[in-house]
Structures are given as structure tokens and as C-alpha cells.
Amino acid sequence: MSRIGNNPIALPEGVTIDVNNNVVTVKGKLGELSQEIKDVTVKIEDGIITVTRPSESKDHKAKHGLYRALIFNMIEGVAKGWTKELELVGVGYRASSQGQKLDLALGFSHTIVLNIAPEVKVETISEKGKNPIVKLTSFDKQLVGQVAAKIRSFRLPEPYKGKGIKFVGEELRRKAGKTA
């Protein structure tokens, strides 16, 4: 039994959903997203969305929960939006943004300039005495996660001092250093 797939989705105010030829399109105040679905059926009745599967096979059970979660994330995204925050931990690590360009100084001999997709809004927060924070906001959860993972890959957090780029609130597994 798919516990996630069986949960109904309540449609918030201001969000519309269309299902045409196995393509689900969700429109809201923040944007529009579409997703192709296979092996499941989507029913919309009185603002409640239910996802059903045709059989009890393992593949259908897996896709049942998957597509329900994808539709839920699309609805949440166009209604409220998704946010990821990255923290730059290290001496001299800086971040600045001009429009859709993110400029990172991460201890290399050069700065890294990254062009961010137009759907993602980027904001940098730098306060004296605190680590710089890069805040990514968009209506597409997958795109925000992908951009955040790309930024994090430039300098992964190391286990000894914790230097690098980490998600805000992420707990790092720390190691003890050398003992004499």
C-alpha cells in the first residue's frame, strides 16, 4: 500500500490544475509548471485531487507515490514557492549577486561567476561577524535543488573544520584531528 499515493491533495485558492493527454499543468500566482505522468490516473473533484493506480504491481505502486508527490510539490510551488539557503563557512569566503549572476569567492585564485536560471531568484545576505548566506527562491522545487547542489559542489564542506558551502541547518559529521 502506498501511503503517500493514497493521500488526497487539497487545491489551494488561486491555483488551477488541468489534465490533458497524460500531462498535468498547474498554474498559480508565482508561475506555471507541467509534468508528464504515466501509469496513474488523476481525478479532480471539488478542489480535491486524488491519484489512483491501475493495479497492485510494484512498478505501479512506486509511480503512484512518485506522481502524487510531484503534483503536490508543483501545487505548493506555484502557491507559496520553494526556498533554499546556503551558508559559506570559511575565512574570506564571500558571495555577491548582480541580477542573475552570482559571484563567489571561495579561496581559489579566481572568483566563480555563475549565471542562475531566470526562474530562480538569487539573494545574498552578508552581515559583519556572520557567514555569508545565499538565498535561492523559485516556484520549481527541482530547479532550486539543482542550482543549490551546483553551488554547493564548488566547495563541499570538509569534516575537520567544517569549511565549505553547506545548507543552513545542515548537520555535518565532524572528525577528530591528529593526536600527538
Residues 6+ apart with CB under 8 A from 121: 136, 137, 138
Look at residues 79, 105, 125 and tell me which one is the last residue of a structural domain.
79
Edge-to-edge strand ranges of the sheet holding 94-98 = 94-98, 101-105, 112-115
Place of cell 541580477: 99
Determine the 3-state secondary structure of 64 from DSSP.
helix
List, for residues 8-67, the tens digit of each pLDDT value.
999 999 999 999 989 999 999 999 999 999 989 999 999 899 999 999 899 998 899 999
Residues 103 and 3: their CA atoms lie apart, in Å, by: 43
Q: Are residues 18 and 56 in the same domain?
A: yes
Give domain status of residue 67, yes or no: yes
Give domain status of residue 172, yes or no: no
List, for residues 55-85, the tens digit of each pLDDT value.
989 999 889 999 999 999 999 999 999 999 9
Give domain status of residue 179, yes or no: no
pLDDT bin (cut points 50, 70, 90) of residue 2 is: low
Q: Are residues 160 and 89 in the same domain?
A: yes
Taking all residues of the chain, what is their mean pLDDT, rounded to a whole number? 93
Give domain status of residue 61, yes or no: yes
Query: What is the tally of structural domains in the chain?
Result: 2
Domain region containing 36: 3-79
Look at residues 79, 106, 125 and tell me which one is the last residue of a structural domain.
79
Biggest CA–CA distance in the chain, Å, is 70
Q: Are residues 46 and 73 in the same domain?
A: yes
Q: Are residues 8 and 69 in the same domain?
A: yes
Give domain status of residue 176, yes or no: no
Q: Are residues 125 and 103 in the same domain?
A: yes
pLDDT bin (cut points 50, 70, 90) of residue 1 is: very low
Look at residues 27, 52, 79 and tell me which one is the last residue of a structural domain.
79
Q: Are residues 74 and 86 in the same domain?
A: no
Give domain status of residue 161, yes or no: yes
More confident residue, 5 or 167: 167
**Total residues found in the chain within this entry:** 180
CATH of the domain at 88: 3.90.930.12
Residues 174 and 116: their CA atoms lie apart, in Å, by: 31
Residues 176 and 180: their CA atoms lie apart, in Å, by: 12
Residues 11 and 17: their CA atoms lie apart, in Å, by: 8
Global pTM? 0.89
